[in-house]
Structure 1
């Protein structure tokens, strides 16, 4: 079987020239260190893609680990997985544009599917016995489905629990209200040993913005943003061939990205009706969750133009993004990290409901001169046409923000595993 991750060994060889900390590759009681990552994945692909990139990075590091990715989306099954990384897919839960949860595919009540997911997670964690458990973004999981697992891990005191947060959660008043209602700070203080923020406080300082209590703040640690260029190291033959099969023209490429696509139809349709400069071709990547009717309308319109192409899905779109001259996109965390990592001339049209997270992030980055922003209330084909006509220089991203998150995370993990104190020491 072909090696889908030829760079993993290359990374190991490069790292070997530096004297590793003592016991950096040691085993815990005769077995590899075990790391579990949970993402609730109720809207879009962002949480899963972020966690999977972290898992890929750890899987190709010098650490000897077995990694389990627990997710509500089976999308990562189409992405090559390095040795030592495996995935568990939960029954799918969906959050609509109004922020309400429901089963994505089954005719189950919310309580039924949450109970089922919660029991699956708890049983899995009991059997896997992770040394480290990294929870993405939601301290108690979707609809508190992690409560039984967190209580179990606290009673065992054998697992170091980490909460990973994106750079922006929402506007401060909403975060303070929601976190108080959900008792999130109490959960952090009770169950978690650390909180990692996948961002740079120079862009957005969660501690200052959200006014968390000192006992919560003491657990915070910024990793820096996650440099998405690392995805290029994890390309397999199928991903490369899928990109080559697009037969892209030699003209400059402008790319329209709408995340998972469930609420991206308006941006995609507006882009489809914009006038592209003569030297440019356009590609719309709809995402797997765009409604079929909206996707078909885009396909029908693109069929009438010789400078526009519509793609539903690419398992790993990084090669396409790397090729693009300009990008017009919604402003999710992963997409924004990709735009920054590849220093793309970009226009972000942020989602503003049910959270203002994307708008806040976009405005902060615009203030640093790294992106342009178009409020969705002002989204028209002419607005996009006008932006494409502007002469815009590539942003000097690395002069302004920290993109070293994927370098620091393995270092943080190694500190925990080699400290001799990786057993959880949660506060009572």
Structure 2
């Protein structure tokens, strides 16, 4: 019986208290049987926003929940990730930070060193951490070779070891033309051939078929697994401690009906946020805006001043409890980032997506694909206005819920199953080599 099946048998239907007790017995059983703990490393380059590391935290949560005898090391370029709640048995290693401008070019964010030197430091940190941690499974988020090849050193070192290496891709990367050009320029296909055992796409090909859209060759397709969107069945875990004086000490969710605006990390969401706070709200509804941690202080002050003149408006800066706001919202206006969209899909919350179109068309392609199957409405940023948002909100909170097309939202379930299969094969192979 697999480890997840064993735990499920122990838990039964006894609820959270029984689950805690069962988990303890499960770990004792592991120790008595001499079963080694699983080690999983997750990398995200994170130069803009928290999307990549938030996705990896969701994955880490699912993997730890499926087998508590799992240790996870998160490698990220976003130091702000340390403020996010983490699942059990999970640690973060942050890399020297980078900044990506509107053209997609990188530069050091803090250190006064040339970019090549900072990338060299980042690459050596990743390689050293993986060498010391010796993961059974290493999952790389999107950036196949890291930023400008910073993962090459680590990937070369892992080749020939027992570590299984997986590339995790969001459903949409960019427009097909831009993605094909980028993959050719960066030698992505060759890197997948040389270093990766599998490629996981966190999406549903019935919504957007990445392999067909990007014309991936057989060398990539033969390693491809579509997991479905990482939306439903998110693990229920709590932050290990509160942060006194932070926004989380204040009431987060209004007591009455409300509509919501999400702008991702906030670095390029000011236009949407400003349109939302100026929009007429549906009768009897509050409005809640989350600006994100990267919006400029000047823009956040301006939004707070506007909200102070409208008692029905609430503005939050950073919160790690967005899912609670989404769960209760009557409707939401959002940018088209993967994590925000997945939270809205999971809650079946009516959404108007106003996608980012620079420097990538990723959000616009995702919004159009989801609109095609009836799950979201879209508004091009060039057409953004308070009147357009107000009209959509008033219409949406009063109309019946529409019929939705079928989408696979069980990505976290499928991902857990695939990881367990890979790790089971890994341990069987390791035991075989040890016996020989």
Residue number among 397, 417, 420 corresponding to 1:414 in the alignment: 420
**In the alignment, is residue 201 of structure 1 matched against residue 205 of structure 2?**
yes
Q: 1:247 to 1:117 in 2, by over 3 A?
A: closer
Q: 1:249 to 1:153 in 2, by over 3 A?
A: closer
Partners in 2 of 1:114 and 1:29 — Cα distance? 40
The aligned counterpart of 2:226 is 222
Q: How many Å apart are 1:230 and its aligned residue?
A: 1.6
Q: How many Å apart are 1:360 and its aligned residue?
A: 0.7
Partners in 1 of 2:206 and 2:370 — Cα distance? 10
Q: How many Å apart are 1:238 and its aligned residue?
A: 3.6
Name the count of aligned residue pairs.
Answer: 409
Partners in 2 of 1:158 and 1:392 — Cα distance? 55
**In the alignment, is residue 394 of structure 1 matched against residue 398 of structure 2?**
no
Q: How many Å apart are 1:251 and its aligned residue?
A: 2.7
The aligned counterpart of 2:367 is 362
The aligned counterpart of 1:257 is 262
**Which ranges of structure 2 fall in alignment gaps of 5 or more residues?**
1-14, 432-436
Q: 1:257 to 1:404 in 2, by over 3 A?
A: same
The aligned counterpart of 2:47 is 42
The 8 Å contact of residues 345 and 393 in structure 1, kept in 2 or not, is answered as: no
**In the alignment, is residue 405 of structure 1 matched against residue 411 of structure 2?**
yes
Q: Secondary structure at the match of 2:234?
A: helix
Q: 1:341 to 1:415 in 2, by over 3 A?
A: same
Q: Secondary structure at the match of 1:60?
A: helix
The 8 Å contact of residues 276 and 282 in structure 1, kept in 2 or not, is answered as: yes
Q: How many Å apart are 1:235 and its aligned residue?
A: 5.6
Deviation larger for 177-186 or 24-33: 24-33
The 8 Å contact of residues 67 and 85 in structure 1, kept in 2 or not, is answered as: yes
The aligned counterpart of 2:196 is 192
The structure, 1 or 2, with the larger RCO (C-alpha pairs under 8 Å, 6+ apart) is 1
Q: Secondary structure at the match of 2:62?
A: helix
Q: How many Å apart are 1:395 and its aligned residue?
A: 5.1
Partners in 2 of 1:180 and 1:395 — Cα distance? 41
Residue number among 153, 157, 165 corresponding to 1:148 in the alignment: 153
Alpha-carbon deviations, 1:209-261, whole Å to 9, x = none?
1111111110000111112552544466749x966832644331111100000
Q: How many Å apart are 1:388 and its aligned residue?
A: 1.3
TM-score, normalising length: structure 1? 0.89
Q: Secondary structure at the match of 2:276?
A: helix
The aligned counterpart of 1:75 is 80
Q: How many Å apart are 1:320 and its aligned residue?
A: 1.4
Alpha-carbon deviations, 1:50-78, whole Å to 9, x = none?
00111111112226221111011123322
Q: How many Å apart are 1:94 and its aligned residue?
A: 1.8
The aligned counterpart of 1:10 is 19
**Which ranges of structure 1 fall in alignment gaps of 5 or more residues?**
1-5, 18-23, 424-428
Residue number among 107, 112, 124 corresponding to 2:112 in the alignment: 107
TM-score, normalising length: structure 2? 0.87
Residue number among 119, 135, 138 corresponding to 2:140 in the alignment: 135
Alpha-carbon deviations, 1:357-394, whole Å to 9, x = none?
10111011111111110000100111111101214433
Q: 1:12 to 1:357 in 2, by over 3 A?
A: farther
The 8 Å contact of residues 168 and 206 in structure 1, kept in 2 or not, is answered as: yes
Q: How many Å apart are 1:290 and its aligned residue?
A: 0.3
The 8 Å contact of residues 25 and 62 in structure 1, kept in 2 or not, is answered as: no
Q: How many Å apart are 1:85 and its aligned residue?
A: 1.3
Q: Secondary structure at the match of 2:173?
A: coil
